[in-house]
Amino acid sequence: DVKVTQSSRYLVKRTGEKVFLECVQDMDHENMFWYRQDPGLGLRLIYFSYDVKMKEKGDIPEGYSVSREKKERFSLILESASTNQTSMYLCASSSTGGSRNEQFFGPGTRLTVL
């Protein structure tokens, strides 16, 4: 089974702190994604990566950055957290070959910024 793990289920940070959200997948997937999920807005893509050290902006990249130094790990960074970044963050991965569109999701990290 594909497994996507996220470093924390719940996180509480203060405004202005630098926040790291980590995601690891164990199926050698080329593609990795970060979304945020908010009530009434569904899932919105923040950043994605199709290869190591490669990144592309999604629909709402402002206030975020990412890092992919190894194939299995994709980190989301909030350089200076703000209250409007309080949300559920979901990581996903997918393979380039075969069922390339199918994304496998982690359990999510619920981030609260005070």
Partner 1 sequence: GDSVTQMEGPVTLSEEAFLTINCTYTATGYPSLFWYVQYPGEGLQLLLKATKADDKGSNKGFEATYRKETTSFHLEKGSVQVSDSAVYFCALSAYQGGSEKLVFGKGTKLTVNP
Distance between the two ends of the chain, CA-based, in angstroms?
37
Cα 38 from Cα 35, distance rounded (Å): 10
CA atoms within 13 A on the CB side of 5: 7
Residue with smaller CB distance to partner 1, 39 or 84? 39
Point out which residues bind partner 1 (CB under 8 A). Answer: 4, 33, 40-43, 45, 48, 50, 56, 58, 90, 92, 100-108
Of 14 and 92, which CB lies nearer to partner 1 in the complex structure?
92
Query: Smallest distance from the beta carbon of 73 to partner 1, in angstroms?
Result: 17
